[in-house]
A and B are shown apart, each in its own frame.
Chain A
Amino acid sequence: MSEHRFRSLAETRWRIAISLTALMVAIYFGFILLIAYDKPLMGRLLTRGLSVGVLLGALVIVLSWVLTWVYVRWANTHYDAGLDQLRREEAAR
């Protein structure tokens, strides 16, 4: 029972970690690929003084932090609760 709970917790944790890592890779390399292959788009001005490239660059930084927030929030509530329950079960045995 405890083993089953551990497996599902471990699998969920890695699924979330790998999905978020893939998302981070997609965001950053998407940005780099746009710079590499669509320079006119990145240079297009949205308003005086703000190009698509500058805006996306700032967004990459903000999104990196948002992703860490998403993970920490999930881990602090669900993952830690699961681990605590696991520890209690093991202590009871």
Chain B
Amino acid sequence: MTILQATPAPVATRIGEPNAVAMVFFFAFIAITLGITYWAARRTRTTEDFYAAARSITPGQNGLALAGDYMSAASFLGIAGLVSTTGFDGLIYSTGWLVGWPVVLFLIAEPLRNLGKYTFADVVAARLRQTPVRIAAAFGTLATVTLYLIAQMVGAGGLIRLMFGLSYETAIVIVGAAMLAYVLFGGMIATTWVQIVKAGLLLAGAALLALMVLAKFGMNPVALFAAAADKYGAGVLAPGKLVAAPLDAISLGMALMFGTAGLPHILMRFYTVPDARAARTSVFYATGLIGVFYLMTFVLGFGAMVLVGPDAIKAVDKGGNMAAPLLAEVLGGTPFLGFIAAVAFATILAVVAGLTLSGAAALSHDLWVNVVRHGEADSREQLRVARVATVALGVVAVLLGILFKGQNVAYMVSLAFAIAASGNFPALVLSIFWRRCTTEGIVSSMVLGTLSTLVLIWLSPTIQVDILKHPGAWFPLKNPALVTIPLSFAIGVLVSLATRDDVAVERFAAVERRMHVGEA
């Protein structure tokens, strides 16, 4: 295939046609993961199995599963596409998506494992009043999970239509059904292993693709970058117009950095390992795997720029999301395209499963068991409620996916990060570190952090200008994290100082001890 330039000529690609290889790989993935689910279902008897995989996951396995939960199709397809069409500007995302992980390790992972059972609300509620904290935390969790789910479902529908030629609705229902099977029957054990298989496939697929690109440039990435600069000008190696507004870049950076440490489906993973030391080690593995993956996006993006060409990529999909599959087709023909397409689909499926499980945990463990039943529910009832919540969320995810068909939902992932960073992260940090915090302070921080993020997103250019086509927006930033994170911390501190919570202060010493030493 020759490289197409300038005019958006019809591209010689089989993307969008039913692809036998993609179908075979995809159904093989479904068959293997359902097999895992069957195996896991026989081991899922208690809530500890369902939510936390019986705390039996090793650090290496959890590192892969964390990477699997985190590396969504948005990062694989989206970043490769962004780099291939804008060059350096896309790399800003590659780095931004990784830098939250060290923060998770330094501040959150170990206290979370030592203080909680199934959800991050366990940690926040450790010495505060259960009912208000649980309700506020469930609100933040569901807001994050719902937005993330919409983005994944709409992405899945579009992706599958583009790659397999299936209808949008069919694709959404297939994703919903497979994901429900994993979570409903196999709980966290199945979800973890689906993530591990998916992470392995995604890393292997990306590595193979990167090696095939590098083989054309004497295994030297700098030679690849030089080829890109020769062809499209040295500007592709320099910052361009994507960060024209510095405050926008900083605000997005803050959402990515602190949002990672507030994502409910990521935090939940730390309960699947035996102890705090294992939680710590698993972040080290996850950071390495995700870092290597994002370094590979440098090669994939510039590879697609040189070997496929930005115009050819945009001709297939305006957003550039098909850069990696097109690159695969150029390098390995239709079979390799099929493999990469199936990997991308598997990626979405696994992320959706993890999100649904964490949403179900908030509904059943936080709201039903701890708020409605005041912690007095037996294991059988808890499991039943968790499964009902899973089905409810699965149905909602499918409906939302269909409702948002054709909408531009790319902003919803960074919005989910902004809510996680403003609603969940400050409450976690304040409740872990600050003796003097009160129930009122933490609840206000969570509720107002989430609400202010939602309101400011609504008033931002992202919605007002890009979606509603209004000429201007009341709030200048595309991502509100720069305002809402400090706001949420400030509310938490000020309200705490204005109120008293003697029980919380009294219990600090015991909780602090448990946070370091673990359960006695």
Contact = CB atoms under 8 A, between A and B. Distances in A.
Given A21-B106, A54-B298, A65-B287, A36 B222 contact: no
B291 interface: yes
Nearest to A73: B284
Interface string A44-70: 010111110110011011101101110
Contacts, number: 151
A28 B253 contact: yes
A37 B250 CA distance: 12
A16 to B, nearest CB: 8
A22 to B, nearest CB: 10
Given A10-B516, A49-B224, A43 B253 contact: no
Interface stretch (B92-100, B150-158, B336-344, B446-454): B92-100
Nearest to A59: B95
B95 A28 contact: yes
B6 interface: no
B512 A80 contact: no
B215 interface: no
Contacts of B88: 42-43, 51, 53-54, 57
A4 B270 CA distance: 29
A70 B92 CA distance: 24
Given A36-B243, A80-B277, A68 B101 contact: yes
A8 to B, nearest CB: 12
Size class of B's contact patch?
Answer: 35 or more
Given A61-B291, A61-B294, A69 B516 contact: no
A54 B237 CA distance: 7
Contacts of B490: none
B283 interface: yes
Interface of B: 88, 91-92, 94-96, 98-99, 101-103, 105-107, 222-229, 234-235, 237-239, 243, 246, 249-250, 253, 257, 277, 280-281, 283-284, 287-288, 291, 294-295, 298, 433, 512-513, 516-517, 520
B57 to A, nearest CB: 18
Nearest to A75: B280
Contacts of B295: 58, 61
Interface in A1-49: 6, 9-10, 13-14, 16-18, 20-21, 24-25, 27-29, 31-33, 35-37, 39, 42-43, 45, 47-49
